[in-house]
Amino acid sequence: MTINMRKIGVGVIGLGDFGERHVQAIKSIPYAELVAVCSRSERRAKEIAQGYGVKRWYTDRRKIVEDKDVDVVTIATADDDHVEPTILAAEAGKHILLEKPIATTLEDADKIISTTKRTGVIFMVGHILRFDRRYRVVREMRLRGELGEIISVYARRLGSSAAADRFLNRVSPIVQHGVHDIDIIRWILGGEVKTVYAKAVKFREYRYPDAYWTIMEFEDKRIGVVESGFVLPSTYPHFIDSFFELVSENAAIHIYTPGELFTVYHNKYLSKPDVTYWPQFNLHAEGALRDEIEYFLQCVHSEIQPNLIVPEDARRALEIALAGEKSALSGSSVTL
């Protein structure tokens, strides 16, 4: 890390649970100065600003991107509310770290990509699994040829049923969190998806199905399977449960989240504390989210576009997820 890096002024747009995690991660980066936060809820904006010692809070997105002390914005708004804040920030010349998925439609993804390219701002979509050291180790093993021929990859990412009300009338599970696994499977395998076939299970009266199983066939005939949904019991002690399995001629690899086999059996609760993505220490967050934001800020400092995750990869993950939605509705495979 460059010791004499200038302070970079950061603003956060969207202050839900994940927006607050952004705030915690930014506060842990020495050369980042969190100067402003923005929420459509005045109560929430004040709460976060006061709780974390942030100089200014806004309820108007236009005002935060016009703030002269803000160099960078991180955007953690709802999945289907990414276009407006991203375009406002780009037009104002602010560099942008946008939470995944890039958007919920390809039309919106293309608007975001074209605007950020036209304005020349530094832009990245936060596919956090690329900053998880466990997945990075697996990819490096593939690049070094240690895995041999990869036979299949399976990834499960299930959310609590308690979150269904929050998400399933706005976005499907495969777009909301399935894109994590779609992207990481493409990244690790280093190939391209040719066809997508999916089945969905719908047992509640939401706009989108409760769960999806999506099969991706790559051009070289390798198979990736993604299971996604909001179906775990509402009492499950973690927001997301995920599992990754890669089987090759030389290895079988498993990645479990949450907890990494770390469980707390307390008199009052059962907990599986996160030690990978955003473990909290004194109102600050470390882990993969901090690494992701720090990487992006280093790119801003160096005035280069990030290459660890490029916008076209984020768009492709969305395209595959939407193909899964289409396949589940039609009952037939979709060719990309």
From residue 92, alpha-carbon distances to 33, 114, 119, 134, 260 in Å are 19, 15, 9, 37, 41
For the segment 301-328, the average pLDDT, to the nearest whole number, is 98
**Residue 127 to residue 184: CA distance in whole angstroms:** 8
pLDDT at 2 over 50: no
pLDDT at 3 over 50: no
CB of 250 within 8 A of CB of 258?
Answer: no
Higher pLDDT, 314 or 276: 314
**Residue 278 to residue 283: CA distance in whole angstroms:** 11
**Structure tokens belonging to residue 30:** 């020495």
For the segment 261-282, the average pLDDT, to the nearest whole number, is 75
Q: Which of 289, 328, 309 is nearest to 174 (CA)?
A: 328
**DSSP state for residue 23 in the 8-state scheme:** H
pLDDT at 193 over 70: yes
**Residue 268 to residue 261: CA distance in whole angstroms:** 20
3-state secondary structure at position 272? coil
pLDDT at 146 over 70: yes
Strands (E), the chain: 8-13, 32-38, 56-58, 72-75, 95-99, 123-126, 150-160, 193-201, 211-218, 223-232, 240-248, 252-257, 264-265, 270-271, 280-281, 284-285, 334-335
Residue 112 CA, distance from chain mean position: 16
CB of 104 within 8 A of CB of 129?
Answer: no
For the segment 51-79, the average pLDDT, to the nearest whole number, is 97
- The whole-chain average pLDDT of the chain stands at 94
pLDDT tens-digit readout, 220-240: 999 999 999 999 998 887 778
pLDDT at 188 over 50: yes
Higher pLDDT, 207 or 283: 207
pLDDT at 6 over 90: no
186-200, 250-264, 295-309: lowest mean pLDDT where?
250-264
**Residue 117 to residue 87: CA distance in whole angstroms:** 11
- Residue 259 — very low, low, confident or very high, per pLDDT cuts 50/70/90? low
Would you list the domain boundaries of the chain?
8-127+282-310, 130-274+317-335
pLDDT tens-digit readout, 240-257: 889 999 999 999 999 998
Domain 130-274+317-335 has CATH 3.40.50.1980: no
47-56, 110-119, 250-259: lowest mean pLDDT where?
250-259
For the segment 205-209, the average pLDDT, to the nearest whole number, is 96
From residue 208, alpha-carbon distances to 95, 135, 332 in Å are 33, 29, 18
Query: Per CATH, the architecture of 8-127+282-310 is what?
Result: 3-Layer(aba) Sandwich (3.40)
pTM over 0.85: yes
pLDDT tens-digit readout, 85-113: 999 999 999 999 999 999 999 999 999 99
What is the reported pLDDT for 32?
Answer: 96
From residue 252, alpha-carbon distances to 154, 181, 214, 248 in Å are 11, 17, 21, 6
